[in-house]
A and B are shown apart, each in its own frame.
Chain A
Amino acid sequence: MPTSDYDPACLPDLLPLYYRRLFPFSQYYRWLSYGGVSKNYFQNREFSFTLKDDIYVRYQSFTTQNELEKEMQKMVPYKVDIGAVYSHRPSQHNAVKSGTFQALEKELVFDIDMTDYDDVRRCCSAADICSKCWTLMIIAIRILDRALREDFGFHHLLWVYSGRRGVHCWVCDDAARKLSVAARSAVAEYLSLVKGGEETLRKVVLSDPIHPFINHSLSVVERYFQQYAIVEQDILCSKESVDKVLSLPIPVKFHNSLCQFWYHIKKYWKYLSCSHNIKKGGQYFDKEIMLQYCYPRLDVNVSKGVNHLLKSPFSVHPKTGRISVPIDLKELNTFDPFEVPTISLICEELERPRADEAEEDDVKDKENEQEAGERRRIRDYKRTSLAKYVKVFDRFLEAMARSWKGEMLKKSGELETSFSVFLTFMSFTYT
């Protein structure tokens, strides 16, 4: 599938087109306004832009969707990050009395980066990824999505492909956005199992009793482990590789076929554990190894901070050209990061001759310019590979909108207000 060879040098030409005709501003604005339940939520949100020549500007904020569009089309950011909702408009933070300008709320976010798995990946390293190690992301998403929904009770999760070597999760529930720093760090630590730096060999330590969360995670890992680690990653291909796996010397006579090897290692371990060489608590070594190779590795610091800035969905990755697109969890097994459209592809798709739309254009252009612009943009992205990803975003927003309606009702509690909310809701669904 051609991704229309992307060349970073073309960014200055492609980005203006992207922001003018493809970036889904109305859905984006709808998301970050959160149904208008809190006043000034969008206005007090910090954005940061990375412009050409690595110029980085923080504390960008906008009062309306229109202003956001105009500014982005003007500044043409190479990267867009989203920060917290502050007590005042970020663009005016210098005018605020020192100490009173504070980050109040933000989505709970997680960043899974493939480089954090370098010690257990044999196929790639650093910024590279391939279809073999992509399985790690699938495992990570499944484990974390389940835990965030079932254990923590969150409902509105947006998973986004970062564009190169990882995925991000945005937990958008009201309760999540209001979490304190301590709460965020507690959630991140609850979800962390792989601990230790370069100097730690045994990064996962399990002991009785095994927490239900670990059991759930293990069942996901076990599903993928055989195929991923033993076949694709070839972790048992050589004596050295296996030594690394177990930090133990393995007799050559156990070098059989790959999958049988695993069975033999377990037997060998039982034999060893009868002798006194093994330190106590090594009873779960097989589970520990599987987790060390496959369990998601989070950067706690990304999740901890209320004011932490994270790459925005639908931002372009300058090195690969890929758009940071939402991931549809229902299609997770078939998601291919190499199929994600690049900015050059969608711009090229845009330029292809339009079929029967020429007449409709003329009629509708006579209407309100902004609406026409929006409608044009909606038709535009629908003609590109970006369409299906925007649909995923739409579905996510619809699910959230239902909860906003509930919240607005709670706030007012009156029939009249619920009617006006209903109208507002209807207008939001018009796209």
Chain B
Amino acid sequence: MQFSGRRKKLIGNFQNDLYDQCLQFYGQPPLENISLTEFETFAVERLKLLKTVENVGVSCVKNSEQYTKKLDAEISSLNFPHRGGISEYEKRRKDHISHFILRLAYCQTEDLRRWFIQQEMDLFRYRFNCLHSKHKTDFLHKNNLKYETVSAEEKKNLKDKLIASSYGLSGTKVEEHDVYKVPFQDALDLVRTRKVYLLAGNAYIPHHEIVTIVLNDFRTRLSKALAVMFYSDLVISLHCDWLSSFVPLFFCYSHAYVGQDYSIQKNIGKISLEQIDALSGKSFPLCMRHLHKALRENHHLRHGGRMQYGLFLKGIGLTLEQALQFWRSEFVKGKVDADKFDKAYAYSVRHMFGKEGKRTDYTPYSCMKVILSNPPSQGDYHGCPFRHSDPELLKQKLQNYKVSPSGINQILELVKGMHYQLACQKYFELTHNVEDAGFSLNHPNQYFTESQKFLSGGRDIKKEVDMSQRSQENPASVTHPSQANSKQAHEEMGDLDSFFQDE
């Protein structure tokens, strides 16, 4: 784009239009030049914001007062657009540019894309909900989101059903505000949680819930844009020296799960099968101890349990041969004869080790994965006991494992606050008789490694060691910066350090 002498004025008009809304879909990339300092600052600040979005989303209930307060504070302090105030032009520009910079870094892998989309969606949802009702409608119009509205007569007929299906919907609201009718496929989040009225394949969405539909749209667009970006030549040209000092910065602090993925086992074959029973009591996190016990008692585990436990065992160092022996010897004690095991179950064990099918070497599940995906149902023993067990049963189980009553209470408090990983950490502290675990738990195998380290006397409580360990274990796709650059980056990380420590 060529600019003439009247450049400033032209840009001014153009950008005034571009930034006349507090919120945007990030459909168009920014078209201006900016300085390197701005580039870096914008990126880092947005990263801080997204990291806060993530932390606050885990530790508070979304949209609660606590959540709103914390997020509000962060958005203001980082100078991002906030509740459509006046003189927001600079902030909106920053919002726009920083989003696109982070796209460059986050389109690189599946995991990064997923994390980025999740946080951007949470941020978008928050900011959309903060908009005035009129601004919401404006936003919908400006972005060509035309959803069919329900006629007044139909609304009257369905009034009771609508009120019963949507939280916070009263009779007056139904009468006064629009209700939208969209095909259920466009409102999956509401359908999944049964927070919407369905009739003949259509979801009836009250005005205040329209954000979910918009979010669906947002997610689809962003997901597509990231995929396109990744496959374009642009990203390949990113791998050059002066940018490579930024990329490790992102990878260090931004990844939802940033530690080891435990796919490369350092201690293969160091565990013998005879040790497993003892280890389950001493060094297994509660979820795996639970699975192990269920396996020993029932001589069987269903698919979800086999995956979660089997991959964990792989992560602590079991070889394929050991795993096959382990599962076979246990299943054979139950209703499965050796033949049937070899036909039906052995395949899935080999599959776990990447020896069948598309040969993916599956990685052991992180805590987030165990907590959030594939909830257990009748007959299942997998999942996170702090998340999925009845508090009463959890209490009994902890009593059986000789945890002190005060300890149990602390754990139950954490569970009530939905801090499942902190509860598990507390379990670690109580069973290992230590004040402070000294690490931030986010992976069952990490629990095991830390426990083993502790029990063999090699504990290093210093947090700096953890930090540098993490920065060394970057995904392979990152080009490693030269020594000088990483040292400089490390220094710059100085004050960011304390900010990014998990609470």
Residues of A within 8 A of B (CB): 54, 115-119, 150-154, 175, 179-180, 182-183, 185-187, 189-190, 194-203, 209-215, 297, 299, 301
Check A186 against B188 for contact (C-beta < 8 Å).
yes
User: For residue A188, which residue of chain B has the nearest CB?
Assistant: B192
Check A198 against B381 for contact (C-beta < 8 Å).
yes
Which of B163, B192, B198, B378 has a CB less than 8 Å from the CB of A152? Answer: B198
25 contacts between A and B (CB under 8 A): A54-B343, A115-B379, A116-B379, A118-B379, A150-B200, A151-B198, A151-B201, A153-B184, A153-B199, A179-B185, A186-B191, A189-B194, A194-B377, A196-B377, A199-B376, A199-B390, A200-B388, A201-B392, A203-B378, A209-B163, A210-B164, A211-B197, A212-B164, A212-B165, A212-B197
How far, in Å, is A161 (CB) from chain B's closest CB? Answer: 22
B-side contacts of A54, CB under 8 Å: 343
In the bound complex, CA of A26 to CA of B197 (Å) = 40
How far, in Å, is B178 (CB) from chain A's closest CB? Answer: 20
In the bound complex, CA of A42 to CA of B449 (Å) = 52
In the bound complex, CA of A93 to CA of B263 (Å) = 29
In the bound complex, CA of A197 to CA of B379 (Å) = 6
Check B381 against A197 for contact (C-beta < 8 Å).
yes
Q: A150-B199, A185-B192, A211-B194 are in contact. Are A198 and B379 (CB under 8 A)?
A: yes
Within 8 A of A (CB), among B381-426: 381-383, 385, 388-390, 392-394
Chain B residue total in the interface (Cβ 8 A):
38
User: For residue B164, which residue of chain A has the nearest CB?
Assistant: A209
Check A200 against B164 for contact (C-beta < 8 Å).
no
User: For residue B167, which residue of chain A has the nearest CB?
Assistant: A209
Check B165 against A197 for contact (C-beta < 8 Å).
no
Check A195 against B389 for contact (C-beta < 8 Å).
no
B-side contacts of A117, CB under 8 Å: 378
Q: A183-B185, A199-B389 are in contact. Are A212 and B380 (CB under 8 A)?
A: no
How far, in Å, is A295 (CB) from chain B's closest CB? Answer: 12
Interface centre among A119, A153, A197 (most CB of B within 10 A): A197
In the bound complex, CA of A253 to CA of B410 (Å) = 39
Which of A187, A189, A211 has a CB less than 8 Å from the CB of B164? Answer: A211
Check B184 against A152 for contact (C-beta < 8 Å).
yes
Q: Per-residue CB proximity of B180-202 to A under 8 Å, as 1/0?
A: 00001100110111100111111
How far, in Å, is B338 (CB) from chain A's closest CB? Answer: 14
Check B390 against A201 for contact (C-beta < 8 Å).
yes
Check A151 against B199 for contact (C-beta < 8 Å).
yes
* B161 contacts partner chain A, Cβ-Cβ < 8 Å: yes
How far, in Å, is B418 (CB) from chain A's closest CB? Answer: 16
Q: A195-B377, A212-B165 are in contact. Are A200 and B389 (CB under 8 A)?
A: yes
* B375 contacts partner chain A, Cβ-Cβ < 8 Å: yes
A-side contacts of B394, CB under 8 Å: 199
B-side contacts of A187, CB under 8 Å: 191
Q: Per-residue CB proximity of B421-442 to A under 8 Å, as 1/0?
A: 0000000000000000000000
Check A195 against B343 for contact (C-beta < 8 Å).
no
Which of A179, A190, A211 has a CB less than 8 Å from the CB of B192? Answer: A190
In the bound complex, CA of A210 to CA of B161 (Å) = 10
How far, in Å, is A155 (CB) from chain B's closest CB? Answer: 10
Check A199 against B188 for contact (C-beta < 8 Å).
no
Closest 7 CB pairs of A and B: A153-B201, A197-B376, A151-B198, A199-B389, A186-B192, A153-B200, A197-B380
- Beyond the given pairs A195-B377, A198-B376, A198-B380, 5 more chain A to chain B contacts, judged by CB atoms under 8 angstroms and listed by A's residue number, are A153-B199, A185-B192, A190-B192, A196-B377, A196-B390
Within 8 A of A (CB), among B291-341: 294, 303
In the bound complex, CA of A118 to CA of B385 (Å) = 22
B-side contacts of A175, CB under 8 Å: 201
Check B194 against A190 for contact (C-beta < 8 Å).
yes
Check A183 against B188 for contact (C-beta < 8 Å).
yes
Interface centre among A183, A202, A214 (most CB of B within 10 A): A183
A-side contacts of B164, CB under 8 Å: 209-212, 215
A-side contacts of B194, CB under 8 Å: 189-190, 211, 213-214
User: For residue B187, which residue of chain A has the nearest CB?
Assistant: A186
Check B191 against A190 for contact (C-beta < 8 Å).
yes
A-side contacts of B198, CB under 8 Å: 151-152, 190, 213
User: For residue B393, which residue of chain A has the nearest CB?
Assistant: A199
In the bound complex, CA of A26 to CA of B194 (Å) = 40
How far, in Å, is B410 (CB) from chain A's closest CB? Answer: 20
A-side contacts of B201, CB under 8 Å: 151-154, 175
How far, in Å, is B102 (CB) from chain A's closest CB? Answer: 25
In the bound complex, CA of A179 to CA of B392 (Å) = 40
A-side contacts of B303, CB under 8 Å: 301
Check A119 against B390 for contact (C-beta < 8 Å).
no
Q: A183-B185, A199-B389, A201-B392 are in contact. Are A297 and B377 (CB under 8 A)?
A: yes
User: For residue A119, which residue of chain B has the nearest CB?
Assistant: B378
Q: Per-residue CB proximity of B158-172 to A under 8 Å, as 1/0?
A: 000101110100000
Check A116 against B377 for contact (C-beta < 8 Å).
yes
How far, in Å, is B169 (CB) from chain A's closest CB? Answer: 9
Check B377 against A201 for contact (C-beta < 8 Å).
no
A-side contacts of B161, CB under 8 Å: 212
B-side contacts of A211, CB under 8 Å: 164-165, 194, 197
In the bound complex, CA of A180 to CA of B216 (Å) = 14
B-side contacts of A119, CB under 8 Å: 378
B-side contacts of A116, CB under 8 Å: 377-379
User: For residue B198, which residue of chain A has the nearest CB?
Assistant: A151
Q: Per-residue CB proximity of B66-84 to A under 8 Å, as 1/0?
A: 0000000000000000000
Q: A119-B378, A196-B376, A196-B378 are in contact. Are A209 and B388 (CB under 8 A)?
A: no
In the bound complex, CA of A335 to CA of B218 (Å) = 48
How far, in Å, is B357 (CB) from chain A's closest CB? Answer: 11
How far, in Å, is B172 (CB) from chain A's closest CB? Answer: 16
User: For residue B200, which residue of chain A has the nearest CB?
Assistant: A153
Check A201 against B393 for contact (C-beta < 8 Å).
yes
Interface centre among B192, B200, B378 (most CB of A within 10 A): B378
Q: A154-B201, A179-B185, A213-B198 are in contact. Are A202 and B378 (CB under 8 A)?
A: no
How far, in Å, is A42 (CB) from chain B's closest CB? Answer: 26
A-side contacts of B185, CB under 8 Å: 179-180, 183
How far, in Å, is A257 (CB) from chain B's closest CB? Answer: 31
Check A297 against B393 for contact (C-beta < 8 Å).
no
A-side contacts of B381, CB under 8 Å: 197-199
In the bound complex, CA of A198 to CA of B293 (Å) = 13
Within 8 A of A (CB), among B345-382: 375-382
A-side contacts of B392, CB under 8 Å: 201
B-side contacts of A209, CB under 8 Å: 163-165, 167
Check A197 against B193 for contact (C-beta < 8 Å).
no
In the bound complex, CA of A211 to CA of B198 (Å) = 10
In the bound complex, CA of A190 to CA of B202 (Å) = 14
B-side contacts of A189, CB under 8 Å: 191-194
How far, in Å, is B90 (CB) from chain A's closest CB? Answer: 38
Which of B197, B199, B377 has a CB less than 8 Å from the CB of A197? Answer: B377
Q: A183-B188, A186-B192, A211-B194 are in contact. Are A196 and B199 (CB under 8 A)?
A: no
User: For residue B294, which residue of chain A has the nearest CB?
Assistant: A198
B-side contacts of A213, CB under 8 Å: 194, 198
How far, in Å, is B391 (CB) from chain A's closest CB? Answer: 10
In the bound complex, CA of A196 to CA of B388 (Å) = 7
In the bound complex, CA of A199 to CA of B188 (Å) = 29
Check B197 against A200 for contact (C-beta < 8 Å).
no
A-side contacts of B165, CB under 8 Å: 209, 211-212
How far, in Å, is A194 (CB) from chain B's closest CB? Answer: 7
How far, in Å, is B399 (CB) from chain A's closest CB? Answer: 14
Within 8 A of A (CB), among B46-79: none
